[in-house]
Amino acid sequence: AQKVTQAQTEISVVEKEDVTLDCVYETRDTTYYLFWYKQPPSGELVFLIRRNSFDEQNEISGRYSWNFQKSTSSFNFTITASQVVDSAVYFCALRRDDKIIFGKGTRLHILP
């Protein structure tokens, strides 16, 4: 079965704190892609990152970083020095064939 689990439904942190959003996935495919999307209140899903199954290098983009570990089927997302503008719902997702399977999302509140 293809499945994405985001166990954290909602997280609140104070601005400037670091926060990690967890993602665990299940797939029988040997080649697959993982994604993170951000959904602000406007509703639009904003692409953050894609990672393929052959590339386990961690990635950093500004305050964002991602930790991909095939051994534990996890693809966690860390925001360093969080800002109020980071408040949104974040989705982890897995591509299967021509569709994307999303987790249920983690609602992140950054408190000023």
Stretch (H or E) spanning 57: none
End-to-end CA distance of the chain: 41
105 forms part of the interface with another protein (CB under 8 A): yes
Nearer to another protein, 98 or 112 (CB): 98
31 forms part of the interface with another protein (CB under 8 A): no
Q: Please state, in angstroms and rounded to a whole number, the distance separating the CA atoms of residues 91 and 88.
A: 10
Q: Please state, in angstroms and rounded to a whole number, the distance separating the CA atoms of residues 44 and 58.
A: 26
Sole residue written with tokens 């950093």:
60
Nearer to another protein, 66 or 95 (CB): 95
42 forms part of the interface with another protein (CB under 8 A): yes
Asked if 15 and 84 count as a contact pair (C-beta separation under 8 A), the reply is yes
32 forms part of the interface with another protein (CB under 8 A): no
Residues 47-76 that bind another protein (CB under 8 A): 47, 50
Q: Site residues (CB under 8 A) for another protein? A: 4, 33, 35, 37, 42-47, 50, 91, 93, 95, 97-105
